[in-house]
Structure 1
């Protein structure tokens, strides 16, 4: 009888611990999910604002790099501007295909479907030639004449952006500043706000 008496409370205690542990895990998951959502939104916002500020600084005085520092003054990362790129973009493939066919009628660089298109390998080759020249133009290898194919424009192909590079020990120092509350002011906005609808 005494064995049964000691076993029952132990089983109940173990079940209660499992339930409590599941509750703790559920709470942690809910907190981390909310934190991840808020951090993602805050990161997107600050990245856009940083890009605008970097673009303005680069235009104003040529600044292309800024240091990220903790409230203590310790430098933990560098943010560097990455220039955008421009290149040839085919905006009217049918017009380009007609032009390729008319310019080089003896070559089999186009194919007819419902519309005429340039074969993918040749299109890649033409775009590479334009990239090499730095304009939506192609030098004719036979005549040397510079040709301007229709249906192609020189446009931005990748917008300017920036990259964050951690300094040695920067991640650990930032994590420690977070843990000790030194970044409380910087992180307050992330946890502020009500329920999303």
Structure 2
């Protein structure tokens, strides 16, 4: 008994068409990555300037017709204690607290990780590279540690409800041609 398959056969995709699609998408992804990096840097600089000048920390992204699609918000960076000279810190710890076993000696003296975390937390809370000796109350300046940025100031984009679809429709309709020109420009014309 033979069975016949009545399902219509799907035409196989052309290898050449797939190769062309892969090449086009590769080009587009490279251009999107470069454009995204550029706009992220320019947006950060503009947000930093607006925050300093006017206290502005967010801006609404609107389509040319005025439809709000997203909000771009400034995220403040963080500062905290960072060990910049481990040897100086370990020598100081050993000299200042000789009876404590907070350092180990190998070729290089280093502070034990658990104690370093404790000290950095204390310095972070104080906002300075200083600690207070709990036994004596004496405040020590800690060498080898600086208070400096630990996370850069940045920004984020939050889509509004329907914002992605509205942006996609605007792009498809050509309304965002100026903003997307670099993605479709010829190689010599790309920004």
1:120 aligns with 2:113: yes
Q: What does residue range 53-68 of structure 1 map to in structure 2 within 5 Å? A: 53-68=46-61
- Could you list the structure 1 runs, at least 4 aligned residues long, displaced by more than 4 angstroms after superposition: none
Q: What does residue range 20-169 of structure 1 map to in structure 2 within 5 Å? A: 21-169=14-162
Whether the aligned pair in 1 keeps the contact of 2:130 and 2:141 (CA below 8 Å) is: yes
Distance 1:170 1:145 in 2: 57
Deviation at 1:193, TM superposition (A): 4.2
Distance 2:160 2:29 in 1: 24
Whether the aligned pair in 1 keeps the contact of 2:31 and 2:182 (CA below 8 Å) is: no
SS of residue matched to 1:101: helix
Higher relative helix content: 1
Deviation at 1:102, TM superposition (A): 1.1
Distance 1:193 1:49 in 2: 23
- 1:46-92 superposed Cα distances (whole Å, 9 cap, x missing partner): 10000001111111111111111111110000001111111111111
Deviation at 1:156, TM superposition (A): 1.0
SS of residue matched to 2:147: strand
Deviation at 1:190, TM superposition (A): 2.1
Q: Flag structure 2 segments of 5+ consecutive residues without an equivalent.
A: 1-8
Q: Which has the larger radius of gyration?
A: 1
Distance 2:118 2:66 in 1: 51
Number of aligned residues? 180
TM-score by length of 1: 0.87
Deviation at 1:21, TM superposition (A): 2.1
